[in-house]
Amino acid sequence: MCDLDSVSDLTLTLRMLQFDKQVLPASGKISTSCQISPDGELIAICQNTDMLVYEISSSKMMKLTTTHKECINCLCWSPDSKCIASGSEDFTVEITHIIYGRIRRLMGHTAPVISICYNNKGNILCSSSMDESIKEWHVLSGTALKTMSAHSDAVVSIDIPKFDSSILSSGSYDGLIRIFDTESGHCLKTLTYDKDWIAEDGVVPISTVKFSRNGKFLLVKSLDNVVKLWEYTRGTVVRTFLWPHQETKAKLKYNCGLELIYPQGKDPLVISGNDSGSMCVWNVYSKNLVQKIDEKHRNSPLISISASYDKVATLSLNGECNLFRVH
């Protein structure tokens, strides 16, 4: 791995991410998620129980209200970029059409909803919760199709490959990464860092899971601020990304964002944030650190990173949202 300080001049010229504009200044309201729509046109940001939708081309901001009683934890765009699903601290999930307004209110979880994702058709929504379960919902009828309970702590992140809805990955505070069959609901595979449970202070909680574009690899971030790329069919780690100059045992309080970027004609990049508002960008294939961004989101933990095409949106806990472009 290349040392950043010695190449700091170089990185300026090799810069991958360029700051474009500030979407939202620090507000002090609780913002935990920003998501770029799959078509790359809009950014959705949650603020307490509301959602702000920012049109990138015109810089216009639109506000969508929800009927959530408590703060929104997570957002997810439908694959057709027409609806936003929101998971809340009040145990419910809502689906809001950006023109028609609220479409569905999904009730069934018994604890705050932490993570949600759509299947590739956009007709099934999955949600994971502090109640340790994952639920599948049918969007058109608003009914729960199945519940998958296989974790022993909060399930904080779930993901479905973009072109293959047959599997779902989940990451939990119990330190396990599981792959489920979305059709049968059965657990197909379990990945873990610490097979023998030998770490002195318990397992390392998982904070984010994210499939590669082709669905063959799974990128995983844990609360010790280590990012690993798994070839999940074989159950092996094929790349590890370590934060530069980090003491051996970092402990993050938040997931601090994780995203994969696919610049045209170049190697894919991993972008990950930390609790002081810095972001690191690595080349996935070579593991080289190609950029470190410290000057934005100063002193507020990064909370969400989302990419679509050449655009990357970042959000820190104080509500500041920035837009970057990939070069």
Binding site for another protein (CB under 8 A): 78-80, 82-83, 97, 100, 103-104, 119-124, 138-141, 145, 150, 161, 163-167, 178-179, 181-184, 186-192, 195, 212-217, 229, 231, 233, 235-240, 260, 262, 268, 284-285, 287
Measured from the CB atom, the residue of 14 and 237 that comes closer to another protein is: 237
Q: How far is the CB of 45 from another protein (least distance, A)?
A: 22
| Mode of pairing for the β-strands spanning 83-88 and 72-77 | antiparallel
Residues 261, 244 contacting (CB under 8 angstroms): no
Looking at beta carbons, which pairs linking 128-135 to residues 24 or more positions away fall under 8 Å? Answer: 128/155, 128/156, 128/157, 128/158, 128/170, 129/87, 129/91, 129/154, 129/155, 130/154, 130/155, 132/172, 133/109, 134/158, 134/168, 134/170, 134/180, 135/108, 135/109
Measured from the CB atom, the residue of 59 and 143 that comes closer to another protein is: 143
Q: How far is the CB of 311 from another protein (least distance, A)?
A: 18
Count Cα neighbours of 177 within 13 Å in the Cβ-side half-sphere.
Answer: 30
Measured from the CB atom, the residue of 166 and 300 that comes closer to another protein is: 166
Q: How far is the CB of 119 from another protein (least distance, A)?
A: 7
Residue 145: other Cβ atoms inside 10 A: 14
Q: How far is the CB of 256 from another protein (least distance, A)?
A: 22
Q: How far is the CB of 241 from another protein (least distance, A)?
A: 10
Q: How far is the CB of 242 from another protein (least distance, A)?
A: 12
Measured from the CB atom, the residue of 167 and 313 that comes closer to another protein is: 167
Measured from the CB atom, the residue of 178 and 297 that comes closer to another protein is: 178
Give the integer Cα–Cα distance in Å for 180 and 195: 19
Give the integer Cα–Cα distance in Å for 179 and 196: 20
Measured from the CB atom, the residue of 180 and 315 that comes closer to another protein is: 180
Q: How far is the CB of 157 from another protein (least distance, A)?
A: 18
Sheet holding 167-172, edge to edge: 155-159, 167-172, 176-181, 187-192
Structure tokens at 130: 């502090």
Give the integer Cα–Cα distance in Å for 203 and 95: 34
Measured from the CB atom, the residue of 56 and 270 that comes closer to another protein is: 270
Residues 92, 85 contacting (CB under 8 angstroms): no
Measured from the CB atom, the residue of 18 and 190 that comes closer to another protein is: 190
Q: How far is the CB of 181 from another protein (least distance, A)?
A: 5
